[in-house]
A and B are shown apart, each in its own frame.
Chain A
Amino acid sequence: DVKVTQSSRYLVKRTGEKVFLECVQDMDHENMFWYRQDPGLGLRLIYFSYDVKMKEKGDIPEGYSVSREKKERFSLILESASTNQTSMYLCAATSDFEQYFGPGTRLTVT
């Protein structure tokens, strides 16, 4: 069973702070994803990575960047957090048809 873990379940940050969200998977999956989940908007893809040091923009990359230095770890970075980035952030990993999700990080930016 693939395990996807995220560094924090809840996070509170101030406007303008740099925020790091970490995701780690314990299997050898090449593909990793970052989504944000908002009521009424569903899941929207921020960035994804199909290999170490490789990344592609998703549907809503503005205000975010990512880093993948090791296969098992995919980090989402908010360079300067803003209140409209308050959301639930989900990480996922896959090597086949099924995406395995982490428990999510609920980020509040005040």
Chain B
Amino acid sequence: AQRVTQPEKLLSVFKGAPVELKCNYSYSGSPELFWYVQYSRQRLQLLLRHISRESIKGFTADLNKGETSFHLKKPFAQEEDSAMYYCALRGGSNYKLTFGKGTLLTVNP
């Protein structure tokens, strides 16, 4: 069975502060991990995936297989980063995703 855990339902930081959204997973094989984001009144969209190892909108995430984690980080949060963030896992050869319960990030001015 595969599982994704996001321990924080809510996260509030001030503009310019570092932010880290936590994600832990459980999967017996080699998973593919993603972060999806939903801004207010917009559709859910892919933010980044671990294989690409790129920075999107200043966010990065590193897959730590030893700790089974895929935390999302940004050194200096901006107000426009306020959104709901979901961590997702894809295991095996099908296209199904298992999502975490989400973290609502609020960046205060």
Query: A101 on the interface (CB 8 Å rule)?
Result: yes
Please tell me which one of the listed residues A33, A94, A97 contacts residue B49 in the complex, with CB atoms under 8 A apart. Answer: A97
Please tell me which one of the listed residues B45, B49, B95 contacts residue A31 in the complex, with CB atoms under 8 A apart. Answer: B95
Number of residues in A with C-beta < 8 Å to the partner? 22
Contact call A40/B44, Cβ cutoff below 8 A: no
Number of residues in B with C-beta < 8 Å to the partner? 22
Known: A40-B9, A42-B86. A101 touches B96 (CB 8 A): no
Contact call A50/B95, Cβ cutoff below 8 A: yes
The minimal Cβ–Cβ distance linking A56 to chain B, given in whole angstroms, is: 9
Chain B residues lying within 8 Å of A40, measured Cβ to Cβ, are: 9, 101
Interface majority SS on A: helix, strand, loop or mixed? strand
Using a CB–CB cutoff of 8 Å, the interface residues on chain A facing chain B are: 31, 33, 35, 40-45, 48, 50, 58, 90, 92, 94, 97-99, 101-104
Please, could you name 8 A-B residue pairs with CB atoms under 8 Å apart, sorted by A? A40-B101, A41-B101, A42-B86, A42-B101, A43-B102, A48-B95, A98-B46, A101-B43
Using a CB–CB cutoff of 8 Å, the interface residues on chain B facing chain A are: 6, 9, 32, 34, 36, 43-46, 49, 51, 86, 90, 94-102
